[in-house]
């Protein structure tokens, strides 16, 4: 059950049912509620106290069929809820063919959209919110796969026969059920054999759902000696799982300790001491050579929340994790470290919903942020887009709190961040480092302005900024400017993907990814050189285009001059028109720049083609030729970076930055 963190990506790669969205009406504090998952995998829910955050997360509990004594109806109204999931290609084919363990080779039925999604619909029956209908697209229409109906004092479930041979219309009745049996028939395999395959998918998702509330219900003091292999979905048996890990899975136990130390350093050594049939969870530290034990309940609720999150994340079954206020009891630095781990898991396919008031967790760059507000007696959940400052102020957060990092790392985009994370994991996960995506183009001209602003704002003088930038879209003026900035580092190539063109590594990497005809290093380099040669003119053209900077017909000096001279309309027109270059002269300027760039590129092409040609285009050609698919910067870049070492000069400047 316990997987190495590096294997999560391969495990999660779309092989199981995934939550898509939830819609609810008259559900607790909400008249209407819509909640969708996002590609980043991380959704943050924020808002004032008693606004409806807990009610929103409770909708996820209903989807996972958690028992609850709470009333779901809003002011006595009848609540309803629908939950939509996607099925993996393998699951769809298995259900449509009636065979298990089939290869995910798409057929005609799958291409037509059959079972593209499956939806469970819930309604209130006998004061319980239960699934009463299952629907899915099949044979060109949305079909009812199962329907729960009341028949006098009993219930019946009308279910589709095995989908593989179903006509899409006729349902088979399963009668004489009490309510509990009917609910089980709609949600667990075993009651109705024809639904078994679909319900096994649903059950797997339910078992991968965890929800940890702020009360931290786990047992940690004087627990009867017992070893559990799986964490309960609310985390109550954390102690028993920790005992199992320490004594049965030393590798997982070591990894857990390393991650815990990275988030809450100096908390001590995690242990599960036993005595007379009982044990407890504790941390051991030393003072003046004497060892002391501190129970988990005595070191703060934040440490317990971190442990719950780490243990759930290290479980191969964990798929959807809900955390309520994980910042409670944690220092901002520890919050950032925990957030970094969560972001990494989310990128690997896990889904997180987190309620928070913390400015540290309100990380706009990699998260979907939902603001919950209560208006006119009803809660509303709205995605946060442009009103972020308003959200922070509503939480009582100062803007300075949201910019409390000691170091700012500015990168060009998402793929740059992920590749740097693979090369320098401690840099990216360092709680003292905030990452800003500065985007490409001419935005690099602002790097020195940002550094000056920080210098003025940070009178202590401890905040650093490092700007790591591609060279692909920079005019000469800006290249010279950035090369003179201590806070900037220009990659020694066109773009970061060029650094991944290691022909000693690529053949084995392609083989690992399943390439059938793996080339030798020299063969691969030769074929890639041919592609680069075909792009040589593009290199010259782009260089020339960036030499043609935007023409400014009015600047500060000319404005001041015209103001002092009292220039009127015609005078201003004459002044501006005089700055417009003559077409013939400008055409000659372009020719000169092209010829100059062409000569420069030709003089060093044989030596530097690997760093001058567009790295993404070269890798894209390699992947298409040997793997029959395109190169994905965000997905494939970090994986390849795991096999290719970073350049020494980049290592040197990063080490200087973090010191």
pLDDT at 8 over 70: no
Q: Which of 132, 125, 47 is nearest to 83 (CA)?
A: 132
Which of 283-292, 318-327, 340-349 is most confident? 318-327
Least confident of 23-37, 47-61, 322-336, 603-617: 322-336
Please state the domain extents for the chain.
16-39+52-209, 218-300, 407-535+613-658, 544-612
Least confident of 157-171, 178-192, 318-332, 452-466: 452-466
According to the model, what pLDDT value does residue 167 have? 78
According to the model, what pLDDT value does residue 2 have? 41
pLDDT at 459 over 60: no
Tokens standing for residue 541: 């053209």
Q: Which CATH class is domain 16-39+52-209?
A: alpha beta
pLDDT at 409 over 90: no
Q: Which of 134, 22, 28, 21 is nearest to 79 (CA)?
A: 28
According to the model, what pLDDT value does residue 429 have? 62
**pLDDT (tens digit, 9 = 90+) per residue, 542-578?**
888 878 877 888 888 889 989 999 999 999 999 899 8
pLDDT at 118 over 50: yes
pLDDT at 85 over 90: yes
Say if CB 324 and CB 54 are below 8 A apart.
Answer: yes
**pLDDT (tens digit, 9 = 90+) per residue, 607-656?**
989 988 999 999 999 999 999 999 998 889 989 999 999 888 788 877 77
pLDDT at 82 over 50: yes
Residues with Cβ < 8 Å from 119, sequence gap 6 or more? 82, 83, 84, 85, 134, 135, 136
Dist CA 618 CA 621 (whole Å): 5
More confident residue, 89 or 148: 148
Percent of the chain with pLDDT over 70: 79
**pLDDT band at residue 11 under the 50/70/90 scheme:** very low
**Mean of pLDDT over the chain:** 81
Where are the strands (E) in 438-496, listed by range? 464-469, 488-490
Look up residue 397 and give its DSSP letter: -
Dist CA 452 CA 468 (whole Å): 17
Compute the average pLDDT of residues 148-160: 92
According to the model, what pLDDT value does residue 464 have? 64
Residues with Cβ < 8 Å from 483, sequence gap 6 or more? 490
Dist CA 411 CA 426 (whole Å): 16
**pLDDT (tens digit, 9 = 90+) per residue, 272-314?**
888 888 888 888 886 555 577 888 877 777 788 888 888 888 8
> What are the percentages of helix, strand and coil residues in the chain, rounded to 5?
45, 20, 35
pTM recorded for the entire structure: 0.67
Question: Dmax over Cα atoms in the chain, in whole Å?
Answer: 99
Least confident of 56-65, 204-213, 224-233, 528-537: 224-233
According to the model, what pLDDT value does residue 402 have? 45
**pLDDT band at residue 477 under the 50/70/90 scheme:** low
Dist CA 76 CA 63 (whole Å): 21
Q: Which of 374, 375, 373, 393 is nearest to 383 (CA)?
A: 373
Other beta carbons within 10 Å of 319: 21
**pLDDT (tens digit, 9 = 90+) per residue, 379-399?**
999 888 655 556 655 555 544
pLDDT at 445 over 60: no
pLDDT at 224 over 50: yes
According to the model, what pLDDT value does residue 447 have? 52
Compute the average pLDDT of residues 144-151: 93
Dist CA 76 CA 576 (whole Å): 71
Say if CB 231 and CB 321 are below 8 A apart.
Answer: no
According to the model, what pLDDT value does residue 266 have? 77
Which of 204-208, 217-221, 432-436 is most confident? 204-208
Compute and round to an integer the Cα radius of gyration of the chain: 30
């Amino acid at each position: 059950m316990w997987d190495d963190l590096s294997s999560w990506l391969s495990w999660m790669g779309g092989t199981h049912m995934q939550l898509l969205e939830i819609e609810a009406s008259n559900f607790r504090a909400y008249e209407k509620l819509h909640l969708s998952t996002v590609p980043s995998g991380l959704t943050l829910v924020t808002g004032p106290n008693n606004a409806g955050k807990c009610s929103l997360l409770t909708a996820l509990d209903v989807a996972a069929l958690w028992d609850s004594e709470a009333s779901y109806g809003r002011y006595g109204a009848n609540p309803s809820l629908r939950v939509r999931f996607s099925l993996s290609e393998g699951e769809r084919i298995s259900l449509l063919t009636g065979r298990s363990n089939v290869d995910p080779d798409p057929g005609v039925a799958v291409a037509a959209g059959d079972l593209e999604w499956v939806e469970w619909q819930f309604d209130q029956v006998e004061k319980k919110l239960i699934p009463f209908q299952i629907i899915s697209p099949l044979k060109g229409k949305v079909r009812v796969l199962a329907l729960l109906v009341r028949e006098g004092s009993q219930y019946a479930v009308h279910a589709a026969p095995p989908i593989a041979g179903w006509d899409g219309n006729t349902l088979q009745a399963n009668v004489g059920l009490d309510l509990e049996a009917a609910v089980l028939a709609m949600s667990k395999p075993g009651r109705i054999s024809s639904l078994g395959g679909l319900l096994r998918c649903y059950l797997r998702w339910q078992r991968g759902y965890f929800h940890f509330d702020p009360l931290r219900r786990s047992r940690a003091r004087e627990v009867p000696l017992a070893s559990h292999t799986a964490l309960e979905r609310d985390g109550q048996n954390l102690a028993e799982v920790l005992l199992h890990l320490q004594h049965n899975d030393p590798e997982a136990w070591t990894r857990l300790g390393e991650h815990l130390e990275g988030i809450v350093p100096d908390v001590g050594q995690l242990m599960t001491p036993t005595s007379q049939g009982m044990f407890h969870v504790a941390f051991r530290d030393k003072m003046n050579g004497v060892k002391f034990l501190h129970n988990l309940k005595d070191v703060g609720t934040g440490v317990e929340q971190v442990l719950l999150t780490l243990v759930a994340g290290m479980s191969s079954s964990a798929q959807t994790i809900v955390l309520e206020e994980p910042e409670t009891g944690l220092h901002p630095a520890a919050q950032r470290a925990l957030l970094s781990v969560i972001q990494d898991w989310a990128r690997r396919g896990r889904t997180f919903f987190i309620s928070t008031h913390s400015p540290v967790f309100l990380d706009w760059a990699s998260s979907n942020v939902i603001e919950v507000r209560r208006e006119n007696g009803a809660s509303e959940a709205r995605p946060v887009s442009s009103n972020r400052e308003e959200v922070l102020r509503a939480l009582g957060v100062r803007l300075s709190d949201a910019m409390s990092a000691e170091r700012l790392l500015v990168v060009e985009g998402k793929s740059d961040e992920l590749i740097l994370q693979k090369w320098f994991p401690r840099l990216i996960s360092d709680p003292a480092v905030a990452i800003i995506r500065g985007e490409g183009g001419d935005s690099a001209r602002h790097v020195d302005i940002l550094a000056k602003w920080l210098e003025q704002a940070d009178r202590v003088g401890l905040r650093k900024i490092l700007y790591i930038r591609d060279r692909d879209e920079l005019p000469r003026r800006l290249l010279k400017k950035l090369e003179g900035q201590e806070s900037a580092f220009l990659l020694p190539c066109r773009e970061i993907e060029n650094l991944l063109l290691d022909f000693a590594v690529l053949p084995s990497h392609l083989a690992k990814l399943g390439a059938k005809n793996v080339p030798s290093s020299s063969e691969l380099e030769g074929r890639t050189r041919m592609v680069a040669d075909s792009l040589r003119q593009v290199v010259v053209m782009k260089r020339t285009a960036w030499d043609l900077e935007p023409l400014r017909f009015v600047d500060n000096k000319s404005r001041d001059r015209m103001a002092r001279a009292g220039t009127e309309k015609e005078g201003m027109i004459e002044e501006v028109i005089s700055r417009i270059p003559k077409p013939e002269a400008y055409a000659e300027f372009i020719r000169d720049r092209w010829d100059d760039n062409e000569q420069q590129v030709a003089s060093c092409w044989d030596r530097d083609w690997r760093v001058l040609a567009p790295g993404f285009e070269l890798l894209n050609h390699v992947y298409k030729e040997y793997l029959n698919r395109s190169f994905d910067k965000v997905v494939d870049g970090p994986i390849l970076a795991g096999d290719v070492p970073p350049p020494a000069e980049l290592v040197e400047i990063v080490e200087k930055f973090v010191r």
